[in-house]
Structure 1
Amino acid sequence: MRTLVIIPTYNERENVGAIVGRVRASVPDAEILVVDDGSPDGTGELADALAATDANVHVLHRSGKEGLGAAYRAGMQWALDAGFGAIVEMDADGSHRPEELPRLLEALRQDDDQEGADVVLGSRWVEGGGVVNWPAGRRLISRGGSAYSRLALGLPVKDVTGGYRAFTADALRRLRFERTESQGYCFQIDMTRRAYDAGLRIVEVPITFVERERGASKMGGGIVVEAMLRVTVWGLTGLPHRFRRRPAPTTAETARRA
C-alpha cells in the first residue's frame, strides 16, 4: 500500500526537519504530508524547503491555528484524494519515534498467516510500551483520560488517547472521519470509538513515547475539558448500544499467536 505519514505542525521549526529526516530513513517508500497551521515561526517555509528537495515530502498550508483535529481531517482528505492506501498520524516533536513505524505498518498489512488490521494504535499502556521523561502529572492525565474513556464508552482499548496511529484508506472512509468535530486529543478518542462502533479490526502495538526536547507542548486545560465533556455526552447517549457483543482489539503479539 502507498503510505502517507501526516505530520501536523504549529511552531515546530526546531523539530520538523529532524522528524521528516527520521521518517524518510525509517520508511523510505513512505511519503510525508506536513500540515502547517500558519506557524508564525516559519515552520511552513522550512517544510516547503524540504519538499523542494524531496519529491516524497508534501506541504499543506492552512490559514491559521484551528487545532489538531482540523489538521488531521484536512490531511486525511488530502490522502484519500491522492489515492494512498495507508495513512499514519504522527506528532512533529519526536515523541512518536519514526523508528517504530515499520511495526505499525506491518500490523496494518495483510500477510499469509494473519489478516491485517484496519486500524493500528501505537500504545503506551500495553505490555512492552511506555513513556520516557514524563512528569507524574502528565502521566496521570493520560492514564486517567484513557481509563475514563474506556469506562464511559465501553472501549476495550488500553491507549484511547494516543496519537501514533495507522489506518487503511477503507477504514477512514468507513468511520466517517470528516464528521468528527473534536480538537486536541479528544479527536483521537472520537476516532477510536468510531472505529470500534464500525466493527473495524483494531490492533494495539507497543510504543515508547518520548517527551519532546525542543519547543512547547500544545496540551492545555481547554483540551482536557473538551475531552471530558465530549466523552461524557458520548457515553450517556451511547448507553443503549453498550451491550452489543463486538470483538475486542488485540495487541500485535496476540495477533501473531492467533
Structure 2
Amino acid sequence: MNAAPADQIRLLDLQALDVRLTQLAHRRENLPEHAEIRALEADLTQQRDLLVAAQTEESDTARDQTKAEQDVDQVRQRAARDQQRLDSGLVTNPKDLASLQSELASLARRQDDLETIVLEIMERHEAAQARAKELAARLDELQATATEATQRRDAATQDIDAEVAAVRKERSEVAAEVPADLLKLYDKLREQQGGIGAARLYQRRCEGCRLELNITELNEVRAAAPDTVVRCENCRRILVRTPESGL
C-alpha cells in the first residue's frame, strides 16, 4: 500500500487521539466515586436492614407492653372487686372469707409478677426506640454522603464526556484527511493490536512494540520509497517514518 508521507504522519495524530479516547474511557470507568458509591450502597442496604429490625423490635415491644399493662389492669380490677366484697361485710361465711383473702393474696402476687414483666418490656422497648433512632440518624448520614458522592461522580462524568465529545470531533476531522484505504488498514490493526494501529519509528525502535529493528529490517525500511506504507516485522503495526527515525 502507498500513501503520501504526510498522510502517514497524520496517522500519528489520529493514533494520539485514539489513545486519548481510550484513556478517557478508562478514567470514566474507574472514577474513585464508583467504588465509593458501591461501598456506600452496601452500607445503606445493611443499615436499612438493621433499622427495619430495630423498628420491628420497637413495634413488637410496644404491643407486648400494651398487652402486659392490660393484664395488670385486669388483675387490679379483679382485686378491687374482691376487696370491695371483703370490705362490704356481705361475706360472712368463714370458709368464703378465707377463700376471698387467699384469692386477694394470689392476685397481689400475680400483680407484682405482671408489673415486673411490664418494667422489663418497657426497658426493652426504650432500648429498641433508642436503637431505631440511632440507626435512622446513621442512615440519614449515609444517604447524604451517598448523594454527595453521586453528585461528584456525575460532575466528573460530565467533564469527561465533554472532553470525549471534543476529542471525537477532532478525530473525525483528522480521519477525514486520511485516505480511505489507509484509514481502513489503521482501524483494522488498531482493533487487532490493543488499540495501537500505527507507531512511530524512533531511533530505530518501533514505539508500538518497543523493539529495536535489526539491521536487515532497517535496510528494508531505508530502501522503501517514502510513500510506501511499511509495517513493523515484530508487531505488524504501521510503522511511520519521521526525521527522528534514525535511518
Provide the TM-score with structure 1 as the length reference.
Answer: 0.22
Larger CA Rg, structure 1 vs 2: 2
**Higher strand proportion (structure 1 or 2):** 1
Greater relative contact order structure (CA < 8 Å, 6+ sep) = 2
Provide the TM-score with structure 2 as the length reference.
Answer: 0.22
**Higher helix proportion (structure 1 or 2):** 2
